[in-house]
Amino acid sequence: MIFASREPRRAATYARRYGGVGAYGSYAEALADPRAVAAVVCTPHDRHLADTTLALAAGKHVLVEKPIARTLAEADQMIARAAEAGRVLMVAEQFHFMPAFRRVTRELAAGRLGELREIHLVVRGLGAARGWRLSAEAVGGGALIDGGIHYVHNLRAWGGGIERVYALRPRQSIAAMEGEDAVVLLASLRGGAVGMLAHSLAAPRYPRLQWATLIGTQGTCFVDNRGRWVALRGSEGARLWLFPRDTRGYVAMLRTFLEAVVAGHAPAMDGVEGRRDLAVVLAAYRSLAEGRPVEPDGAS
């Protein structure tokens, strides 16, 4: 691995800690290293477009952190430039690769719950945003576009697509944070089911054990939000699955990216998929601003 940071000392520290073969104080210098084949862009959201463009122009494949960008226009530029360069653009949405969440997807596809009726995602805690995450301009919003987009992805993936969203937010608690610190999103899912996501960084003394619930006509599924277990009660009885390995999905995600680099295309979480998650978030922000349900742009 080759590490690069705008702070050279930080790049050198990471290279020593993780056995890197190079450390640079400039992204351009790191991308010019002939040993580099691909780039992992994990800079603040407002740099994703510029840093991804720089890597693509250097002929590198790109794994960019979620959200893919702050706006759909930025995302569209990134997707177009990756296509022009003939390089892979993949979004680092590890929730897509978490074993527990993949199990839920398989159980839904197998019809174990019958016809899906409801999805409830409740994610609350007390999190102190710091640094650039305090800036709505740098983040592109607040809690929903940052950590909340993980659960937006699950809602969209499990629900088969999101047709319309309506969002509300409580009074702000984290004064230093320019973006919202909490939001509740209601969604009309493709096929007629209803989804709800409650995401908050301002819930003191809330228990760490939290789970999502999926309700169908023939059963109910519970899944730990941290990906450690899935429980299902359906017409065929009750099942419990435990997931002690690669719980967060990072190994599977990185393996998929490496396979995509070899194959020349991303089989999962490409730029278009990342754009769809972003479209739901931005529709929720429009709903907050306009006080009405909003249809996401190309989220299905």
Question: What are the domain boundaries of the chain?
Answer: 2-93, 95-250+278-290
pTM for the structure as a whole? 0.96
Sequence-ordered list of residues with C-beta below 8 angstroms from that of 94, at least 6 positions apart, any chain: 150, 248, 249, 250, 253
70-85 burial: b if 16+ Cβ within 10 Å, else e: bebebbbebbebbeeb
Judged against a pLDDT cut of 70, whether residue 16 lies above it is answered with yes
Residues with catalytic roles: 66
CATH code: domain 2-93 is: 3.40.50.720
3-39-91-61 Cα dihedral, nearest 10 degrees: -170
Structure confidence at residue 300 (pLDDT): 59
Tokens 């909490």 correspond to: 182
User: What burial class does residue 30 get, using C-beta atoms within 10 Å of its C-beta: 0-12 exposed, 13-18 middle, 19+ buried?
Assistant: buried
The per-residue pLDDT for range 24-79, each reduced to its tens digit, is: 999 999 999 999 999 999 999 999 999 999 999 999 999 999 999 999 999 999 99
The per-residue pLDDT for range 214-236, each reduced to its tens digit, is: 999 999 999 999 999 999 999 88
User: What burial class does residue 34 get, using C-beta atoms within 10 Å of its C-beta: 0-12 exposed, 13-18 middle, 19+ buried?
Assistant: exposed
Choose the CATH number for 95-250+278-290 among 3.90.1010.10, 3.30.360.10, 3.40.50.300, 3.40.50.1000. Answer: 3.30.360.10
Judged against a pLDDT cut of 90, whether residue 242 lies above it is answered with yes
